[in-house]
Amino acid sequence: MGKRNKVTVVGAGNVGASAALWLASKELGDVVLVDVIEGVPQGKALDLAQAAPIESYDVRLVGANSYDETKNSDVVIITAGLPRKPGMSRDDLLRTNAEIVTKVVDEIVLHSPNSILIIVSNPLDAMCQVALRRSGFPKNRVIGMAGVLDSARMRCFLAEALDVSVENVTAFVLGGHGDTMVPLPRYSTCAGIPVTELLPKEKLDQIVKRTAGGGAEIVSLLKTGSAYYAPSSASVEMTEAILKDKKKILPCAAYLEGEYGINGLYVGVPCKLGARGLEQIIEINLTTEERIALQKSAAAVQELVNVLGV
Ligand SMILES: NC(=O)c1ccc[n+]([C@@H]2O[C@H](COP(=O)([O-])OP(=O)(O)OC[C@H]3O[C@@H](n4cnc5c(N)ncnc54)[C@H](O)[C@@H]3O)[C@@H](O)[C@H]2O)c1
């Protein structure tokens, strides 16, 4: 019998605790929740462990303020950091979260040197760059979660507009995780039919705009935090693709070295995820307009990376 997988979730806040719930309910492996706040990861892990008999999941759930329990994790989801407050941009979080991610990565490298990192902390693309540089891990083991969430938002809005099952709808979003993201209706489909043939341009423009502002819409409703159910679900879809070696193509933040004409920067692109983490970056043809939008999005990421000097 093979050993059970182990997944560490750093940050036991809204996204982290919800990720632990999805991981456990899908029985993807034992889960270790880590946070700096005393008692919170322990309390949430215990609470989730007590739901196991009802929900029928056989995984071990542990909370901790240190990293001993995380030893030899297969996948580490990093959600540690401060979330956005209303009126605050993702970029305001830059320096504080860079310090937090640096500390977390140092511990992970020490305890789980072979793990695959899924970065969630914002500003996402810059935090990926911090994690890659600090860990010294190869680029296939440091992947950012943004595109799965952004495209899920777009799928949700498209399914609503088309009045069809969300399962029928695929959507493609490229670029950085920010206001400059590039949703691509041309590569988005309903039961295989491009949505550009099914919805008028004004409606698609509206959906593209709402997708790009998807995070801010929820921040302005919640007032005291940012989205967490869909973000955590998205990070667990990536984890599942890796642990089950699914070779699943998902939009992720990946370190580009020449792909899409971008060099030395994390940007959201279609990726194949499997046991080795990011196994392939898939290049698709873009129109001139789309290419310009992607370059603009990359430039926004580059600005943040320059501020941090990573
Ligand atoms: N990539 C995305 O699409 C996406 C989506 C949603 C949220 N986020 C980001 O994810 C992060 C978490 O969001 P949240 O809503 O869960 O916030 P939250 O405040 O609920 O949780 C963050 C947790 O991190 C903990 N933390 C802080 N410093 C730490 C450290 N050094 N080590 C371990 N834990 C530490 C905090 O104590 C807190 O419990 C934020 O940066 C947010 O902007 C990203």
- The 10s digit of each residue's pLDDT in 131-153 is 999 999 999 999 999 999 999 99
Q: Is 70 in the pocket of ligand 1 (CB under 6 A)?
A: no
Q: What was the pLDDT predicted at 177? A: 82
Q: Is 85 in the pocket of ligand 1 (CB under 6 A)?
A: no
Q: What was the pLDDT predicted at 40? A: 98
Average confidence (pLDDT) over 208-237: 95
Q: Is 11 in the pocket of ligand 1 (CB under 6 A)?
A: yes
Instruction: Check residue 29 and report its DSSP letter.
Output: S
pLDDT at 1 over 60: no
Residues near 310 by beta carbon (within 8 Å), at least 6 away in sequence: 98, 126, 129, 130, 133
Q: What was the pLDDT predicted at 181? A: 87
Burial category of 139 from C-beta neighbours within 10 Å (exposed 0-12, middle 13-18, buried 19 and up): middle
Which residues form the catalytic set? 177
Atom of ligand 1 lying closest to residue 90 CA: 43
* Alpha carbons 273 and 263: distance in angstroms, whole number: 21
Q: What was the pLDDT predicted at 86? A: 74
* Alpha carbons 243 and 91: distance in angstroms, whole number: 32
Residue % of the chain over a pLDDT of 70: 97
* Alpha carbons 176 and 124: distance in angstroms, whole number: 8
Average confidence (pLDDT) over 204-226: 94
> Can you name the residues that pair with 142 across neighbouring β-strands?
117
Q: How far is the CA of 278 from the centre of ligand 1 (A)?
A: 23
Q: What was the pLDDT predicted at 104? A: 98
Q: How far is the CA of 39 from the centre of ligand 1 (A)?
A: 17
Give the pairing of strands 182-190 and 169-174.
antiparallel
Instruction: Decide: 268 and 176 in contact? Cβ < 8 Å.
Output: yes
- Report yes or no on whether pTM surpasses 0.75: yes
* Alpha carbons 30 and 41: distance in angstroms, whole number: 14
* Alpha carbons 235 and 125: distance in angstroms, whole number: 15
* Alpha carbons 3 and 24: distance in angstroms, whole number: 16
The whole-angstrom distance between residue 18's C-alpha and the CA centroid of its chain comes to 13
